[in-house]
Amino acid sequence: MAPKRGIKRKDKSRVVLKKGESQRKDGTYDYRWTSRNGRRHSIYAQTLEELRIKEDAITRDEMDGIRAEARCTTLNELFEVWAQVKRGLKDNTYQNYLYVYRQFVAPDFGQSRISSIKKTDIKRFYNMLADQRGLKISTIESVHTVLHQVLTTAVEDNYLRSNPSDNVLRELKKEKDFARSMGRLVEVRTYRPIDKQKEFCGVLDAYDENSVTINEDGVLRTFEKKDIALIRLAIEF
């Protein structure tokens, strides 16, 4: 029976529920709403607090013109849209893109929901292709070319605000450059003086996402990557 007009609905904890919210028999919550195109949608959450965080995200998406379907559309589904509308490629290039995506992206990463994909997810995916599957950078470049175009389509069609794959491959290449240079003599130039100098030279000892460490005659010196203007192999005589 629907509640009488003017009577506020409450959950089992006596918390007043907003329009579209309801508590299910198992204690979880759902929220139902109609998007601007007239389609009905629903989301679920274990707690009311979690549900309302999701509701706030939905409101922000609607204000920014992001499609409600982005929450249930997978990367693979959007790839099929891209494949149908893509023009301007030679047939062998187009077929190669299809092969690369279906071989390396579709089975796993391609099942991700568009709205959940973050830059760190793509970094992790590319690292997996390089480290676990042993793909060369040139092959990962092909994967990136297709993936970036598919995600650009997602931005153009209002599934995403921005493309999470922007600049990811460039960062991966830098990581591979560091890996190849381990144990070799490098020159480091910083934006601002450190200990009254801006140029350093030492053996590349370690690196991670945020820092680089060199060995200067037995003394380890660590630099934050954001402070480094230039790092390159040193010329040895």
Confidence bin at 170 (pLDDT 50/70/90): confident
- Adjacency order of strands within the sheet including 228-233: 219-224, 211-216, 197-207, 185-194, 228-233
Instruction: Decide: helix, strand or coil at residue 29.
Output: strand
Q: pLDDT of 16-49, one tens digit each?
A: 888 888 999 999 999 888 876 677 878 888 998 9
Q: Which CATH number fits domain 182-233: 3.40.50.300, 1.20.1300.10, 3.40.50.1460, 2.30.30.100?
A: 2.30.30.100
Confidence bin at 237 (pLDDT 50/70/90): very low
For residue 1, pLDDT beyond 60: no
**Percent of the chain predicted with pLDDT > 70:** 91
Reduced 3-state DSSP string for the chain: CCCCCCCCCECCCCCECCCCEEECCCCCEEEEEECCCCCEEEEEECCHHHHHHHHHHHHHHHHHCCCHHHHCCEHHHHHHHHHHHCCCCCHHHHHHHHHHHHHHHCCCHHHCEHHHCCHHHHHHHHHHHHHCCCCCHHHHHHHHHHHHHHHHHHHHCCCCCCCCCCCHHHHHHHHHHHHHHCCCEEEEEEEEEECCEEEEEEEEEEECCCEEEEEECCEEEEEEHHHEEEEEECCCC
Given 3-state DSSP classes, what are the helix, strand and coil percentages for the chain, each rounded to the nearest 5? 45, 25, 30
Compute the distance between CA of residue 64 and CA of residue 117 in angstroms, rounded to an integer.
18
Place of tokens 């350093």: 200
Compute the distance between CA of residue 123 and CA of residue 129 in angstroms, rounded to an integer.
10
Q: pLDDT of 118-127, one tens digit each?
A: 999 999 999 8
Compute the distance between CA of residue 230 and CA of residue 216 in angstroms, rounded to an integer.
17
**Percent of the chain predicted with pLDDT > 90:** 35
Per-residue pLDDT at 163: 94
Boundaries of every domain in the chain: 21-65, 75-174, 182-233
Give burial (CB, 10 Å; 0-12/13-18/19+) of 207.
Answer: buried
Ramachandran class of 136: left when φ > 0, alpha when ψ lies in -120 to 50, beta otherwise: beta
What dotted CATH number matches 75-174?
A: 1.10.150.130
Compute the distance between CA of residue 159 and CA of residue 153 in angstroms, rounded to an integer.
8
Per-residue pLDDT at 3: 55
CA 89 vs. chain centroid, Å, equals: 27
